[in-house]
Amino acid sequence: MSTQNTACKRLQIDLKRMLTEQIPGIYAFPTSDIYVWRGVIFGPADTPFEDGEFKLRMEFCAQYPFKASKVYFTTPIFHPNIQTICLDILSNRWSSTYDVLGILTSISVSSFLLFYLSKAPPADGKEAGKLLDGEWKK
């Protein structure tokens, strides 16, 4: 079986899992090209991201799942510590055991937990202070 057939079969399995093991607030489906998916993660309650709908583009190569996908936010997002999706499982800690649902869950948890857990100085301290002071609700 060629690697392209392996990737296509795996993406079909990933789609089936997305449909059967739905996680509220995390959705993804392939476009007309099985190697390009659109996803959406809804912002968690009680954060500046509440009611937010954050769209993503996922690009898979013929070597998937042996090579990580590329994932981009297509919705402009303000977060004091996020410029682009920079997640270890999409680079140096990639494993063929990760699937679409696992990738999106990791992005969701990593992106929104940073709001609560980050102790590092944010890229824009003044704007980050507004978030922490609750001014983001205005």
Do residues 127 and 78 touch, judged by C-beta distance below 8 A? yes
d(CA 15, CA 12): 5
Helix (H) or strand (E) holding 16: helix 3-20
Amino acid symbol at 108: S
Instruction: List the catalytic residue out of 13, 86, 113, 132.
Output: 86
**What distance, in Å, lies between the first and last C-alpha atoms of the chain?**
56
Per-residue DSSP letters for 85-115? ---GGGTTT--TT--HHHHHHHHHHHHHHHH
**C-alpha closest to that of 101 among 17, 41, 30:** 17
Task: State yes or no: is 61 an active-site residue.
Answer: no
Residues involved in catalysis: 86
